[in-house]
């Protein structure tokens, strides 16, 4: 059996060494480079239902794709000025460390080790999820304990590897990992019966059913979430201006939803007498100047991409291919974990 802790620590150690050899970004350098280039480079998942995937024409869509577009809207007033760079789980950290991409929006779980050893800064989480397991209904597996001795498919270089090792060790269970980098090959291995179960962030698992086009209902999610996986956009350490911009674009989507400002009514809301709404939309104040962009930056984000609810419902709402309850991804006023800082 593979020693998963050793594999995980070795991967972290290698990335730590890579990070140590990278120069930190300089304050203001990233935004200046992005503006000079005329587009932002955003690292995304090659193909994950609901989060990021290109269509047959190469047009990208997805939840994390929209947060990249929100950044472009804030910077250029044009959400289309972003180039998407598909990155594997092994490629994602070297890509942001080296400056190959300006921001990483690729199902990255914010952890202390990544925040420190890898030279990253994390914006506020945009999606809360956790490790889950997908199994075939016909196998009669109803809980994690039923997976004792099972073969489990998982991706390398992810927090899921370590989580599964801890989950099984805590219960005195054994398993055989099948670690596959390519997402399609990973899912195919499960669908074709090479593995008894597939483990990923639970939010990704409903989309996996679509791969089994003939029998999607034959696959069930085991109840429970077995880890904390706060997914967040990441940038290189050292450029506080760029970090601030990514952070406040995220908060703007939260605050817009809380204030009732949506893609559908944002033009009407510019006439609101509410000072917080006026500040958000750049009618008053100079928040854009403080961030190095136009004062209408948040208006452009909401107008062209939407508030958090607009983005979430577009990709995970009841009419989407990957319908997911918002669960923890609700505003704090609704019992969730999304809390936008004040924008005074």
Q: In whole angstroms, give the CA distance from residue 101 to residue 79.
A: 17
Residue 265's pLDDT is what? 98
Q: 247 or 160: which carries more pLDDT confidence? A: 247
Contact 44, 64 (CB under 8 A): yes
- The closest of 120, 126, 121 to 107, measured between CA atoms, is 126
Residue 183's pLDDT is what? 82
Residue 201's pLDDT is what? 85
How much is the average pLDDT of 150-173?
A: 92
pLDDT above 50 (res 3): no
pLDDT tens track for 112-132: 999 999 999 999 999 999 999
pLDDT above 90 (res 106): yes
Helices (H), ranges, the chain: 4-20, 29-37, 63-76, 92-98, 112-116, 159-171, 183-191, 205-208, 240-259, 266-269, 275-280, 287-291, 297-304, 308-316
pLDDT tens track for 60-104: 999 999 999 999 999 999 999 999 999 998 999 999 999 999 999
Q: In whole angstroms, give the CA distance from residue 219 to residue 197.
A: 10
Contact 85, 54 (CB under 8 A): no
Strand partners, 104: 43, 234
What would the two tokens of residue 271 be? 């006439």
Residue 211's pLDDT is what? 64
Q: In whole angstroms, give the CA distance from residue 57 to residue 125.
A: 30
Pairing assessment for the beta strands 234-236 and 120-122 based on DSSP bridges = antiparallel
Residue 2's pLDDT is what? 39
How much is the average pLDDT of 318-334?
A: 91
pTM of the model: 0.83
What would the two tokens of residue 24 be? 């930190």
- The closest of 93, 85, 87, 84 to 115, measured between CA atoms, is 93
pLDDT above 90 (res 336): yes
* Inter-CA distances, 113 with 7, 84, 167, Å: 15, 26, 20
Contact 44, 84 (CB under 8 A): yes
Structure letter (DSSP) for residue 339: -
- Percent of the chain clearing pLDDT 90 (strictly above): 76
Q: Collect all residues with Cβ–Cβ distance below 8 Å to 59 and sequence separation of at least 6.
A: none
Q: In whole angstroms, give the CA distance from residue 109 to residue 131.
A: 11
Give phi and psi for 282, each to the nearest 5.
Answer: 80, 15
Q: 284 or 218: which carries more pLDDT confidence? A: 284
């Amino acid at each position: 059996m593979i020693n998963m802790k050793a594999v995980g620590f070795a991967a972290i150690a290698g990335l730590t060494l890579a990070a140590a050899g990278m120069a930190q970004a300089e304050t203001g350098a990233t935004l200046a480079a992005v503006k000079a280039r005329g587009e932002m480079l955003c690292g995304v998942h090659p193909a994950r239902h609901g989060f990021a995937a290109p269509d047959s024409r190469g047009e990208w869509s997805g939840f994390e794709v929209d947060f990249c577009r929100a950044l472009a809207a804030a910077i250029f007033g044009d959400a289309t000025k972003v180039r998407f760079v598909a990155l594997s789980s092994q490629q994602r950290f070297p890509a942001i460390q080296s400056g190959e991409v300006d921001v990483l929006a690729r199902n990255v779980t914010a952890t202390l080790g990544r925040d420190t050893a890898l030279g990253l800064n994390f914006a506020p989480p945009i999606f809360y999820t956790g490790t889950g397991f997908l199994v075939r209904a016909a196998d009669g597996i109803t809980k994690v304990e039923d997976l004792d001795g099972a073969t489990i498919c998982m991706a390398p270089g992810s927090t899921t590897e370590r989580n599964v090792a801890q989950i099984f060790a805590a219960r005195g269970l054994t398993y055989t990992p099948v670690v596959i980098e390519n997402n399609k090959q990973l899912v195919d291995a499960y669908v074709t019966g090479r593995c008894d179960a597939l483990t990923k962030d639970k939010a990704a698992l409903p989309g996996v059913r679509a791969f089994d086009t003939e029998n999607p209902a034959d696959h069930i999610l085991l109840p429970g979430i077995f880890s904390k996986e706060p997914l967040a956009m990441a940038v290189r350490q050292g450029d506080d201006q760029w970090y601030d911009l990514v952070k406040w674009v995220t908060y703007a989507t939260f605050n817009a939803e809380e204030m009732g400002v949506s893609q559908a009514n944002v033009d009407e809301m510019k006439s609101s007498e509410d000072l917080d709404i006026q500040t958000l939309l750049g009618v008053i104040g100079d928040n854009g100047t403080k961030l190095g962009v136009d004062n209408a930056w948040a208006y452009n984000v909401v107008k062209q991409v939407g508030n958090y609810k607009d983005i979430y419902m577009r990709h995970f709402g009841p009419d989407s291919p990957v319908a997911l309850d918002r669960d923890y991804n609700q505003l704090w006023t609704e019992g969730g974990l999304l809390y936008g800082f004040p924008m005074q």
